[in-house]
Amino acid sequence: MSGANAPSRKPDRAQPVNPAGSVEGDTDLPSAPPPRLVLASASPRRRELLALLGVPFEVVPADIDEARDAPSPSALVELLALEKARAVQALHPSDVVLGSDTVVVLEGRILGKPTDAEDARAMLAALRGRTHEVTTGLAVLSADRAPLVTSVTTEVRMRTYSEAEVGAYVSRGWDADGPLDKAGAYAIQDAVFAPVEATTGCVCSVVGLPLWTVRRLLGEVGVEAGAPSLPRCAGCPEAGRTSG
């Protein structure tokens, strides 16, 4: 209807809009995106393990001086994991950052990465046929809460391998599962040298990342990860832990 006799029409009442751009009172607001995860490690094995949890992540290796004093192996790896995570968080302040560090401990003596082939031989000779501990420290940093820091220790018993086997393994140097970039100069997952006879505790922690513990910590900062998919993880003693 038009013309002078048409009834007047009140203008539509504007609906207030919040700063995010959605209409107030709208019950179908989009949820906030999950925080992005960053792994503060250059380790290929840690990357492979973390991928098993089904969470997208970015890799940003931390560059820190790892020469530190600490009252115990667990305190040392927790400190180094935290410092790695903090170094990367400085570059990614709004993300969730996961740091990790692993040491081998034989009768109270910490065995880090060997300095050269002869050092690797010496470490493997010291470990031969004996039980030692492997401790991995974890630190998870998130912008909206205090750091989460913990460590996991596994007992490892080595088999009595021969000098010839040690020589062949050490000659592999820097290859994927070779000794020169591994704490204690061995990779538990290496199927050729196969240095380990038995373990008590989390095997993934010996490789470099205790998956059940990582999953729990990530959940505490809002990163929902799936259960570890490796068959050995089903019977891991860390699977039933919910805190600590």
Question: Is residue 238 situated within a structural domain?
Answer: no
- Provide mean pLDDT across the span 65-92: 94
The CA distance from 34 to 1, in Å, is 53
Tokens (6 digits) for 90: 């400085």
Q: How many structural domains comprise the chain?
A: 1
Question: Is 25 among the domain residues?
Answer: no
Indicate which residue of 101, 177, 181, 190 is catalytic. 101
pLDDT attached to residue 28: 60
Question: Average of pLDDT values for 138-155?
Answer: 96
4, HSE (Cβ side, Cα atoms, 13 Å): 0
Contact status, residue 170 vs residue 161, Cβ threshold 8 Å: no
Cβ-contact 138, 217 below 8 angstroms: yes
Helix H or strand E segment including 109:
strand 109-111
Residue 9 reports pLDDT greater than 60? no
Q: What is the pLDDT of residues 41-68, one digit of tens each?
A: 999 999 999 999 999 999 999 989 888 8
Flag whether 237 is in a domain. Answer: no
Q: With left for phi above 0 and alpha for psi between -120 and 50, is residue 194 left, alpha or beta? A: left
**SS3 at position 215:** helix
**Per the domain annotation, does 74 fall within a domain?**
yes
% pLDDT > 90, the chain: 77
Compute φ and ψ for 20, nearest 5 degrees: -80, -10
- Comparing CA positions, the residue from 210, 221, 239 lying closest to residue 52 is 210
Task: Tell me whether residue 69 is in a domain.
Answer: yes
Q: What is the pLDDT of residue 67?
A: 83
Question: Is residue 5 in some structural domain?
Answer: no
The end-to-end CA distance of the chain, in Å, is: 74
> What is the spatial distance between Cα 177 and Cα 186, in angstroms, rounded to a whole number?
8
H or E segment to which residue 217 belongs: helix 211-220
Longest dimension (CA), the chain: 108
Q: Could you list the residue range(s) of the whole structural domain that residue 69 is in?
A: 37-228
**218: exposed, middle or buried (Cβ count in 10 Å: 0-12, 13-18, 19+):** buried
pLDDT tens for 19-44 read 444 445 555 656 666 679 999 999 99
Q: Is the pLDDT of residue 122 over 90?
A: yes
Cβ 233 vs Cβ 204: under 8 Å: yes
Instruction: Determine which of 39-53, 64-78, 84-98 has the lowest per-residue pLDDT on average.
Output: 64-78
pLDDT bin (cut points 50, 70, 90) of residue 15 is: very low
Q: Is 79 a member of any domain?
A: yes
> Tokens standing for 70?
């600490």
Helix (H) or strand (E) holding 86: helix 73-89
Summary mean pLDDT of the chain: 88
Instruction: Retrieve residue 235's tokens.
Output: 């019977």
- Res. 87: pLDDT tops 60: yes
Residue 101 annotated among the catalytic residues of the structure: yes
Q: CATH number of the domain at 49, please.
A: 3.90.950.10
* 168 within domain boundaries: yes
Distance CA 178, CA 198 (A): 20
How far is it, in rounded angstroms, from Cα 53 to Cα 180?
28
Q: Please name the amino acid found at residue 205.
A: S
